[in-house]
Structure 1
Amino acid sequence: MKLCSIIVLLFIGCSSQKKIVADKVTKSGASEIVFEQLVQSSVGGYEHPQIKVFKEQKALEETFGYINSFRKPGFPIPSKIDFSKETVVAVFMGQKNTGGYAVSVQEVIELDGKVKVFIEEKSPGKKDMVTMAITQPFCVVKINTSKEIIFEKRVVK
């Protein structure tokens, strides 16, 4: 009987925890916005650093066509995006001469009516052992907003 009670409490605790994350308010009074990472890879991005914000399916499909031209099978193209409520963002770090580089979206907040996306770029240290290969790190995320987005980079070494 006690075991059943513990299991029920665990399920209730897990489901409510997701809701708290979505409604979380930061110390600065900003609201966190839910986002989902769709793709992250170190191969197949663009040669030059860039950020692409997608507000329509056709442009998203064109970018995935480019990304997938380097791999078989390719990444599935997200098709269930409601662009009236959601935005897709792709962050490309540009071409690097070695492995050990990565880019990701760490946090998305809304403050004063604007959405701020925090991008984290990781680079290998001078003494780190890395793959000797050309890489093009990138990530693609879906953000639950259709508002204007501004970006801030955080560099981690």
Structure 2
Amino acid sequence: MIKFFPLLFFIFSCSSSKEVTDNSFSVIYKSEMGGTENAGYTLIQNNESYIRFIESLKLDESQYANFLAVDFKKKDVLVLYQGQKNSGGYAIDIESLKNENQTIIIKKKEIMPKKGEITTSVITSPYCIALIPKGKRVVVE
């Protein structure tokens, strides 16, 4: 039994593997116009849904270069909507992302005009499109 102890110790000490989590994200498009009336988000997990979403944006062809081919085996597309606003000066973005046990936790950042700031008098609906790591669940805070 003593002869096997060092071998077992070596096997157990070398076999532990460290889980690598992907905390990277990249915002690929933002706009003050074209979002939804209500605040919220949409998670896109396949190419067919992504193509339908891009076509629904009704953008100029020159803007399509912003939309990359997405490897949906590794990434998902998250669209954050700020909802309809009564003036310009609003925007939405991702402040941070955490990957905890395959739960992707997104902290959003909502930007609004400062009190007294002059803004355009137009109805806006800001949104943001980002590539995020794949996970079993997505939580937006």
The structure 2 residue matched to 1:72, chosen from 60, 79, 84, is: 60
Q: Residue 89 of structure 1 corresponds to which residue in structure 2?
A: 78
Q: Residue 53 of structure 2 corresponds to which residue in structure 1?
A: 63
Q: Residue 10 of structure 2 corresponds to which residue in structure 1?
A: none
In the TM superposition, residue 32 of structure 1 has moved relative to its aligned partner by 6.5
TM normalised by structure 2 equals 0.75
Distance 1:135 1:117 in 2: 23
Distance 1:125 1:78 in 2: 31
> Please, which runs of 5 or more residues in structure 1 have no aligned partner?
1-30, 153-157
Tell whether the 8 Å contact from 1:103 to 1:122 is kept in structure 2 after alignment.
Answer: yes
TM normalised by structure 1 equals 0.68
> Please, which runs of 5 or more residues in structure 2 have no aligned partner?
1-20
The structure 2 residue matched to 1:128, chosen from 109, 117, 134, is: 117
SS in 1 for 2:128: strand
Mapping 1:1-157, distance limit 5 Å = 33-67=23-57, 69=58, 71-73=59-61, 75-76=63-64, 78-152=67-141
SS in 2 for 1:48: coil
RMSD, matched Cα: 1.9
SS in 1 for 2:60: coil
Name the amino acid aligned to 2:25: F
Give the number of the structure whose alpha-carbon radius of gyration is greater. 2
Query: After the TM superposition, which segments of 4 or more aligned residues of structure 1 sit over 4 Å from their partners?
Result: none
SS in 2 for 1:75: helix
Identity %: 23
Distance 1:58 1:79, change over 3 A: farther
Say which structure, 1 or 2, has more relative contact order (CA 8 Å, 6+ apart).
Answer: 2
